[in-house]
Amino acid sequence: MTDLVINPTQSRPWGKILLRALLFALLGLFALFYLMPLFVMVTTSLKSLEEIRTGSLIAFPREITFEAWRTAWSGACTGIQCEGLRPYFWNSVVLAIPAVLISTVVGALNGYVIAQWRFRGANLIFSLLLFGCFIPFQVVLLPMARMLGLMGLAGTIPGLIFVHVIYGIGFTTLFFRNYYVTIPQELVKAAKVDGAGFFRIFWSIFLPLSLPIIVVTVIWQFTQIWNDFLFGVSFSQAGTQPVTVALNNIVNSTTGVKEYNVDMAAAIIAALPTLLVYVVAGKYFIRGLTAGSVKG
């Protein structure tokens, strides 16, 4: 009896092949539609103002120039001042890094206590922290402004750091708590038997296992803080404004001719840090989000 050799490509129904091709084509169209604004921003920032006026919006630049990028970063000096993103960009860096680190550490300790060190009222405290996550920004503006004034931090970068730490603790606690409940409590009990205390258990057992959720928290907090506009415009003053406020000032400037290439270059510069963070650590962000989804 002769063995039949079946070609895998012949055994697959043509209907499934056609359906898969249509699916990929549809996904490609969605990706193209989603990336088109970014394409327009990049090409416009590389064009001269004259080419923008006479050319097509989606056409490639006839002559690439980085003058708009230099103007957006350093500013166009008019003899009085130079309005560019550079000082405000570094304000955002000085603001974001300590706010992310502090809120991540506090959230890790909160999640560790709520998940593994059971005490009376732990669920109530966790519920209140969750409630704080859903309070709109606008509701806390006046109380927070009053508090910053009493603390002497109004209009300062430390004041903005304080605001973002307080507002981010609810989210960071939620992330770490949902991750730490997946760690067996037997580890804690065994460490207690060996004489380990609160911080020793956290440092030796939980912290080495926390890399996925730390990545999630850092990316989340950095994105929220860097892209924030409302807190930045409400609690800062000239010289301490973050890059989003400076970007708004550049785009909405009404002095002189509207320079769309400078506006686009400034928007890209302001978005580059968060874009780079997601490009470098995006896959770890997805892994960390799903790591604590088994129970809790």
> Would you say the pTM of this structure is higher than 0.85?
no
Give the pLDDT confidence score for residue 56 in this predicted structure: 78
| Largest separation between any pair of C-alpha atoms in the chain | 95
Take residue 192 and report the two structure tokens written for it: 């207690």
Secondary structure class of 46 (helix, strand, coil): coil
Could you state, in order of their start, the residue ranges of all structural domains in the chain?
8-65, 86-291
pLDDT digits (tens, 9 = 90+) for 214-263: 988 999 999 999 999 999 999 988 889 999 999 998 888 756 677 888 99
Please give the CATH topology (third level) of the domain spanning 86-291.
MetI-like fold (1.10.3720)
Beta strands (DSSP E) in 15-130 are none
- The pLDDT confidence band at residue 7, using thresholds 50, 70 and 90, is low
The C-alpha atoms of residue 171 and residue 94 are separated, in whole angstroms, by: 21
The C-alpha atoms of residue 219 and residue 201 are separated, in whole angstroms, by: 26
Query: Cα torsion for 7, 12, 17, 23, to the nearest 10°?
Result: -130
Report the chain's C-alpha Rg in angstroms: 26
Asked whether the beta carbons of 103 and 148 are under 8 A apart, the reply is: no
pLDDT at 110 over 80: yes
